[in-house]
Amino acid sequence: MEVKPDTAWTDDEIVMSDMTPDTDFVFARMTEETLLAVDARAGERILDVACGRAIDAMAMAKSGAALTGIEASETMIRKAVEFMGADRRRVRLTRSLAENLPFHDHSFDKVVCKGAMDHFADLDESMAEMARVVKPDGKVIIAIANFESLTCRLGRLVWSLKEKLTGQGPGEHPFWEPPEDHNFKFDLKVLRKVMGGHCRIEKIKGVSMLWGYPKWGAFLRKHPLLTPPVLRALDRAARAAPSLSDVLVAVGRPA
């Protein structure tokens, strides 16, 4: 079946005013590790693929780097312009698909794509394009949710046992499967295959564990003193076992 790009995507369901501690933590750590991996520096040209509201692009631009953000969704382009306000000249916005980047070969020092590849229409084409537009000595950074995380594995196991005992399945869309607006399911193996086809992978870092497991966020909210050390400990475990982490952050060089 042909996969079509989502050119009308919006982040309305992601941007929430009241997030559980584990969701707040994983979003913040994903951004932190992505920006650390990019390590934006003055004078560099950096491309943010599927830049959304351009929040990360604006953060990187503070280093003095020249930022370009591409986004397929017209809605998100409007939200990016609104977010940037008077500072909109800091980031050059272009509406484009990741599978057909409108830039010359070797145009950028670094290319980053955070939390978006599983929405794309063609993984190989989009990865090939990112490797094409980055300089031979440049970096490509991919950050993506892992749907073979500890949370997902526990969810499948618990519901499998429950189904055998009660005959009842999960009912609604299982939390261990990608949401309906995702075109692909990522895990460590898939990330290595997709990225490794066009880049020499230097490192893959795991971020956070147990994000999104039912009632976990509510438990953390009830125990605010316990929450920070527990989440930090799980984050350390994610670095040691990235295949079980909630998020994967990979750094590669064009092959």
DSSP label of 11: -
Which stretches of the chain drop beneath a pLDDT of 70? 1-2, 6, 13-17, 169-170
Q: What is the DSSP letter of 136?
A: E
DSSP helix/strand/coil, 248: strand
CA 159 to chain centre: 27
pLDDT for position 110: 98
Give backbone dihedrals phi and psi of 85, rounded to 5 degrees, phi first: 55, -130
* pLDDT score at 11: 78
The pTM of this model reads: 0.94
Q: What is the pLDDT of residue 2?
A: 63
For each of the domains in the chain, give its residue range(s) and CATH number, in order of start. 24-254 (3.40.50.150)
What is the pLDDT, as a whole number, of residue 12?
74
- Residue of 83, 32, 8 whose CA lies nearest to 205: 32
User: What was the pLDDT predicted at 15?
Assistant: 59
Give residue-wise pLDDT tens across range 1-20: 567 776 777 877 665 557 89
71/93 Cα distance (integer angstroms): 8
pLDDT at residue 87 in the model: 82
* The predicted structure's pLDDT at residue 16: 55
